[in-house]
Structure 1
């Protein structure tokens, strides 16, 4: 596998404290780059931006993103891989290019919810240098189209929570969408490359880290713009089943307390589970049903998929 590296003019002279690490595959992170760069003057070189194209294979996109990086005031590096290496390996690779003592994993489909998003992270690092901190995410800027209504309902109910609520089970509500990690902590516990496909590699990482380091939660959210249709979500749940099984095998004491695990165990005893699973997926796709009912059906579908994996 080859990796092409492009640095902008601000890169060489910077001495950053925080490295923003953003992987992407077939996404366009240019809007995120633009929004983060609005804070460049206030940051004074304390934050750098490193992006990893994990094998998109789009020469036109690479050319455009290089030009966009050259226009940034933030120190920026674009790494373009010739082939996909996956979510865990890609994020691990990003850390090897980072120069800051703290990493901020920020997904390419996120949008800061405040004009001082990076400054808030910088101030937290300066004040307490936390081992790991999750800033939360919202749907404030996300599209409100009807085709995304079920995903919006699911995320609003189970993911878009204030820091005080997330802190009650700190390892559960950790996602790489907006995650601050100190360099020495990541050196001790990196992402497990055994996770492939979609999901759970960040939660599993938090489970390991929480056994050794404090994981804190703060209210410094960004919007998750990448809402999915029911069918796209169902496909991701299918892809994530093996990862869920891996988490169960690695951390049974923690996972057994999760509602998703208990639901999967209950559904595993259900006769004719494959037929029921198909019915759940169809119900989630029926547009004339109430959104809450469709979201409940999709949660049941996810649990039914996981039931086959445990």
Structure 2
């Protein structure tokens, strides 16, 4: 698929150690880009940003982003695709475009919770160069509207876990946002492009990677702003069923231990009412 590339003036001369990779589809990443660019002086050339528009097909948004990218101090490349490729393929494409030795995957609807976010990641890469590291999620800046109450409660219980707790089961708490992966690790274990649409490609990837590489957890959280209503969540989970089946086929011993999977198997054996 032919992609349009938009590079800012800082891109060509940059020699980054860390590449921040931001895929998006319809979500406007401009606020995130602005917040990251505020840290440009503190990272001293160690960080580049690559943004992938995975088929939004919005000429006005593309024009606004191109103008914003052109004015940023951080080196930035905007990749614009004419049609959607999907989450796994998109992330693999971003990794291929990156020049840093470490890759930081960050969703476009994330917001760093402090102004040392990039600097802390860059310092971790420089000092420890971990194979895989997860910075964590929070709800610090997330909307508090009643319509998002269910998703907010679910996220608070299962995703927004303190790093001290995450470190006890490092492979359990790995998501594809605010996730650092060393280049050689990603080249050994890329995302499975057979996953399409929403869901489970990050969990399946974590299952593979945690068997081979150490996963580090740290306190460098960002807020996931994209909470969903109950109806939207239900649609996503329904659409993700083929992806869950693909994951279960590849990792049956792990998935069989999931409480939800055990409950589903039990219900399947019950006679119809």
> Same-fold call, TM > 0.5?
yes
- Residue by residue, what CA displacement relative to the aligned partner does 1:250-280 show, whole Å, maximum 9, x if unpaired? 111222222222222223234448xxxxxxx
The answer to whether the Cα contact below 8 Å between 1:109 and 1:226 also exists between their aligned partners in 2 is yes
Q: Which residue of 1 aligns with 2:24?
A: 24
Q: Which residue of 1 aligns with 2:251?
A: 251
> How does the TM-score come out when normalised to structure 2?
0.97
- Quote the offset at 1:211 in angstroms: 1.1
Q: How many residues align?
A: 273
Q: Please give the residue correspondences for 1:1-310 in structure 2 after superposition, counting only pairs within 5 Å.
A: 1-272=1-272
Alpha-carbon distance between aligned partners in 1 of 2:257 and 2:127, rounded to the nearest angstrom: 34
- Quote the offset at 1:124 in angstroms: 0.9
More deviation, 147-156/258-267: 258-267
| SS of corresponding position for 2:77 | strand
Greater Rg over alpha carbons, structure: 1
- Quote the offset at 1:240 in angstroms: 1.1
- Residue by residue, what CA displacement relative to the aligned partner does 1:280-304 show, whole Å, maximum 9, x if unpaired? xxxxxxxxxxxxxxxxxxxxxxxxx
> How does the TM-score come out when normalised to structure 1?
0.86
- Quote the offset at 1:69 in angstroms: 0.5
- Residue by residue, what CA displacement relative to the aligned partner does 1:141-193 show, whole Å, maximum 9, x if unpaired? 01111110110011011110011222233222111111000000000000000
| SS of corresponding position for 1:140 | coil
- Quote the offset at 1:95 in angstroms: 0.7
Q: Which residue of 2 aligns with 1:305?
A: none
| SS of corresponding position for 1:211 | helix
Alpha-carbon distance between aligned partners in 2 of 1:216 and 1:67, rounded to the nearest angstrom: 37
The answer to whether the Cα contact below 8 Å between 1:171 and 1:203 also exists between their aligned partners in 2 is no
Q: CA RMSD in A?
A: 1.1
- Residue by residue, what CA displacement relative to the aligned partner does 1:104-159 show, whole Å, maximum 9, x if unpaired? 00000000001000111111111111100111101110111111011001101111
Alpha-carbon distance between aligned partners in 2 of 1:271 and 1:160, rounded to the nearest angstrom: 38
Q: Provide structure 1 residue ranges, at least 5 long, that are not aligned to the other structure.
A: 274-310
Shift in CA distance, 34/204, structure 1 to aligned 2, threshold 3 Å: same
| SS of corresponding position for 2:41 | helix
